[in-house]
Amino acid sequence: MRPRERILVALGATALALALTACAAPNPSASGGASMVVAGYGGSFETAFQQSVIPAFEKSCGCQVTYIPGSSTDTVAKLKAQQSSPQIDVALVDDGPQAQAAQAGLLAPLDTKVVPVDQVVEVARMADDIGVGFGLTATGITFNPTWFSEHGVPAPTRWMDLADPRLKGALVLPSITTTYGVGLLVGAAEANGGSERNIQPGFDALRKIVANAVTFDTTADVSNYFLQGQAAASVWGVSRTSSLADKAFPVQFVYPADGAIALITTANVVNKAPHAELAQKFVAYLLDKSVQAELAKATYDGSVVKGVPVDPALNGKIVGADRVGTLRKLDWKTINPNRAAWTDQWNKQLENR
C-alpha cells in the first residue's frame, strides 16, 4: 500500500453527479438493496471514498457499499483466506500485489461491455483485462533543490546521479520491501544494461548508490526525513512529492532520463464475487472522466483515461499526458517469483552491509 500523506478533499458533488454513466439511474429493485464490499487503501484515501465516491455510487445504484481499509498485501491476504467463499466484491490494490492475486486466480476478468477499458492508457491496462488501473503515479528521484544549490551539486537527471559522492550521508533510500525499492533496483538495472530478467547489473550499480545512504525507509513515506533535514534526495513518487511541496517545503521530482517507473493503483472484481454485476459497475464508475478528474485533484494520481481534462493547477504535480508514454511498466510476472531471493541478496549485500 502507498499510505496517503495528503488529507484528501471531498470530491466535488457536481462533478460526481456527472459520473452516473456507470450505473444509469437509481433502481433499488435491480440491486435488491444489496450490500457490496470494497477493500482498499486506508487513511485519507478511505476518507475520500467514504465521503464522496461511495455515497454517489450508492445513490445511483440503489445499493449499499461497505469499505474495508487495509494495505494492498493485507487485502490480497484476505482474498486468499476467503477464496472458497469470497466476501469482498472489489479490491483496490497496487499493481505488484495485483499481479500476485491475478496469478493465484483470485480476480475475475472485467466485462469490457461494462468497463470502458478501451479508453484506458496502455500502461494502466492489466493482462487479459483482469483488473484495470484507475490511478497513475511515477517512481523517480525527489530532491531538495536548496540543499543541492548550497552544496554545489547539480540537480539529478539519471538514476546513477544518486551515486555522486557529494551526496554521502544525505541520501535516504527505500527498502526493497516497498514498491519504490523494487522500482529503484529495476531502474538501476536497466540504466546499466539489465532488466527484471537480468537483475545483477542493478545490484552492482546500487553498491555505488548505497555508499551515500544514511538509512533505508520501510514505510514508503520519506517526508519526515526531508522535513528533519536528514535527506537531500530519495527515491519516491511524484504524487507524494507534490503533497510535501504543498507544505511549502523545497522538494522537486525528477523523471530520470533513463526511465521513470510507473506505479499503478488498480481496481479489480474478485473472482466469484457475491455481487459481481455491481462490482463491474463500480469499477466502471471509477473510470468515469469526471471521477478521474476529481480523484487527480484529491490524490495527485494522474488520470488513466484518455482525454480527461487536467486542471492547470495540477501541471507538474501529477503524471500528465505528456509523461504517460515514457513510464516503464514493471514486469511483475518476473519480479514476484524472484522477489524473495532479491530481498535476501539486497539485505546481505546492501542494507545490512
pLDDT confidence tier of residue 20, bands split at 50, 70 and 90 = very low
- The reported pLDDT for the residue numbered 77 is 96
Asked if residue 224 belongs to a domain, the reply is: yes
Question: Within the chain, where are the H helices?
Answer: 13-17, 28-31, 43-48, 54-61, 72-81, 95-103, 145-150, 179-191, 200-210, 223-227, 238-245, 276-286, 289-299, 321-324, 332-346
Residues 40 and 58 in one domain: yes
8 Å CB contact between 132 and 125? yes
Q: Is residue 13 classed exposed, middle or buried when 0-12, 13-18 and 19+ CB atoms within 10 A define those classes?
A: exposed
Residue 114 maps to a domain: yes
Domain count across the chain: 2
238 and 193, same structural domain? Answer: yes
Residue range of the domain that includes 301: 13-136+262-321
- Confidence class for position 33, pLDDT limits 50, 70, 90: low
pLDDT in tens, 91-104: 999 999 999 999 99
Split at pLDDT 50, 70, 90, the class of 352 is confident
| CA-closest candidate to residue 304, choices 273, 342, 268, 262 | 262
Instruction: Kindly state whether residues 217 and 336 are assigned to the same domain.
Output: yes
Model's pTM, two decimal places?
A: 0.86
Cell of 133: 488501473
On whether residue 148 sits in a domain, the answer given is yes
On whether both 72 and 164 belong to a single domain, the answer is: no
What is the pLDDT, as a whole number, of residue 32?
A: 52
3 belongs to a structural domain: no
Tell whether 149 and 180 lie within a shared domain: yes
257 and 234 co-located in one domain? yes
Confidence (pLDDT) at 294: 84
Apex CA 22: angle with CA 19 and CA 26, to 5°? 85
One domain for residues 314 and 336: no
Shared domain for 248 and 344, answered yes or no, is yes
Query: Average model confidence (pLDDT) for the chain?
Result: 90
Query: Are 95 and 172 in the same domain?
Result: no
Would you state the pLDDT for residue 47?
A: 82
Q: Is 204 exposed, middle or buried (0-12, 13-18, 19+ CB in 10 A)?
A: middle
Alpha-carbon distance of 317 to 338, in angstroms, equals: 33
d(CA 215, CA 224): 13
Q: What is the domain-level CATH number for residue 148?
A: 3.40.190.10
Same domain as 237, residue 220: yes
Pairing of strands 233-237, 171-174: parallel
pLDDT tens figures, 130-148: 999 999 999 999 999 999 9
Higher pLDDT, residue 325 or 43: 325
The residue count of the chain comes to: 353
| Residue 29 maps to a domain | yes
Sign of the Cα torsion 242, 243, 246, 252 reads negative
Q: Tell me, yes or no, whether 115 lies in a domain.
A: yes
Instruction: Tell me how crowded residue 188 is: count the other CB atoms within 10 A of its CB.
Output: 27
Residue 25 has pLDDT above 60, yes or no: no
pLDDT tens readout for residues 148-200: 999 999 999 999 999 999 999 999 999 999 999 999 999 999 999 999 999 99
* Same domain membership, residue 342 and residue 222: yes
Q: Which three cell numbers stand for residue 249?
A: 517545503
Residue 1 lies in a domain: no
d(CA 211, CA 310): 40
**Can you tell me the distance from the alpha carbon of 152 to that of 346, in angstroms, rounded to the nearest whole number?**
31
Domain match, 256 and 344 both: yes
Q: Phi/psi class of residue 228: alpha, beta or left (left: φ > 0; alpha: ψ in -120 to 50)?
A: alpha
The answer to whether the CB of 106 falls within 8 A of the CB of 78 is no
* Calpha distance 282→65 (Å, rounded): 10
- Mean pLDDT check: name the lowest of 23-32, 98-107, 219-228, 296-305: 23-32
Lowest pLDDT segment from 108-112, 232-236, 307-311: 307-311
